[in-house]
Amino acid sequence: MRIGFVAAAAAMLASAASAPAAQLVTDGSGYAGPVIDIGHVPSPGYYFGNGPFTFGGATVTGTNMFGTTVYGQAPYGVGSNGFLGNSIIIGAGMSDAAVIIDFATPVAAFGAGFNYDPGLDPLNFPFPVTPATIAAFDDQGGLIASFDLQALAPIDSAGQNDYFAFRGIDGQGTGISRFVFSGAYIAMQVTGTADTPPPPPPAVPEPASWLLLISGFGLVGAMARRRRRQLA
């Protein structure tokens, strides 16, 4: 019996050793996993909160104590990586905050467009800073894989606004029940619609401005009349 148990344990270890490791995915061209759709966001087009909020088969929860996870089309800056103000996002609203996505059914892979602030210096920034990281967990809460994006697959927008680069995790046969992105004000691109306030109307000129405009029109008219008399 003991020999049989040892043989079975050895077989299990060999199977585990031969199982492919989860992979960091940086090309979204063949991605067939889920996409988070946050639906319709009324004016001003974004909101804050830790949730949990359920979007289809995914439940999203923020971990920041101040409730600053942002959803929608928000004025969201990521330092030298630009500005995400025209994109629908879920963003970690602090430099050390995390966003947790729990799937109702495990998925083979998950990924999306991401961006983060690459210029935060932990020694000089006034708030705690953690690297921009994505991680996947199984249905027992066990870590499948964790990847430091800034070290392994950095994102550089080259000064572009509303720039996102695909980053994801393929479980390589292990179902992903939880996906976490965190650190460096990281933001994930999602789908949805947002009502944003219309631009403010042009300012009504003050009386002094009207006087300058009328005077200008009068001067232009006088010059035109003078030119006509000279030509005659």
CATH number for the domain harbouring residue 112: 2.60.120
Q: In this structure, is residue 231 part of a structural domain?
A: yes
180 and 127 in a single domain? The answer is yes
67 and 102 in a single domain? The answer is yes
Q: In this structure, is residue 25 part of a structural domain?
A: yes
Among 13-17, 33-37, 62-66, 115-119, the least confident range? 13-17
pLDDT at res. 67 = 65
Structural domain of 145 = 18-194
151 and 179 in a single domain? The answer is yes
Q: In this structure, is residue 2 part of a structural domain?
A: no
Q: In this structure, is residue 71 part of a structural domain?
A: yes
How far apart are the C-alpha atoms of 179 and 138, rounded to whole Å?
9
232 and 141 in a single domain? The answer is no
185 and 128 in a single domain? The answer is yes
53 and 123 in a single domain? The answer is yes
Number of separate domains in the chain? 2
Q: What is the mean pLDDT of residues 121-129?
A: 81
Q: In this structure, is residue 13 part of a structural domain?
A: no
160 and 213 in a single domain? The answer is no
What does the pLDDT look like over 160-207, one tens digit per residue?
A: 999 999 999 999 999 999 999 999 999 999 999 999 876 666 655 444
Q: In this structure, is residue 12 part of a structural domain?
A: no
187 and 208 in a single domain? The answer is no
> Is residue 53's pLDDT more than 60?
yes
Among 41-50, 71-80, 94-103, 207-216, the least confident range? 207-216
